[in-house]
Amino acid sequence: MSELFELLIGEGIEEDEEELGWQERALCAQTDPESFFPEKGGSTREAKKVCLACEVRAECLEYALANDERFGIWGGLSERERRRLKKSAV
């Protein structure tokens, strides 16, 4: 199991393999995971560029929103962008 896959599902979270099968097709699993978790003030440009071409971007974003992921780029959005999206949906 790749390090990024473990990061995506988080420690202690057990999910049905079918439900998380999208993660195996995620482009981020084939790239440097550090670009998806930049330090505060760091650039998110490279990670977002990868997300734009990813076939499972929607599933990734849905997962992040459902699991209240607070760090990193998920589905092409930063934490701040996801927070805004959740707020506007309410």
The annotation places the binding site for [4Fe-4S] cluster at: 28, 51, 54, 60
Secondary structure string (H, E, C) spanning 65-83:
HHCCCCCCCECCECHHHHH
List the beta bridge partners of residue 31. none
**Is the confidence at residue 51, as pLDDT, over 90?**
yes
Binding residues: 28, 51, 54, 60
**pLDDT exceeds cutoff 70 at 14:** no
Q: What is the mean pLDDT of residues 38-60?
A: 94
For the beta carbon of residue 90, count every other beta carbon within 10 angstroms: 4
Q: Where are the beta strands (DSSP E) in the chain?
A: none
Q: Considering the entire predicted model, what is its pTM? A: 0.75
Task: Kindly indicate the confidence band of residue 12, based on its pLDDT and cuts at 50, 70 and 90.
Answer: very low
61 or 15: whose pLDDT is higher?
Answer: 61
Overall number of domains in the chain: 1
Say whether pLDDT at 21 is over 60: yes
Containing domain of residue 12, as a range? 3-89
pLDDT at residue 32, rounded to an integer: 86
Confidence band of 37 (pLDDT split at 50, 70, 90): very high
Number of residues in the chain: 90
pLDDT above 50: residue 78: yes
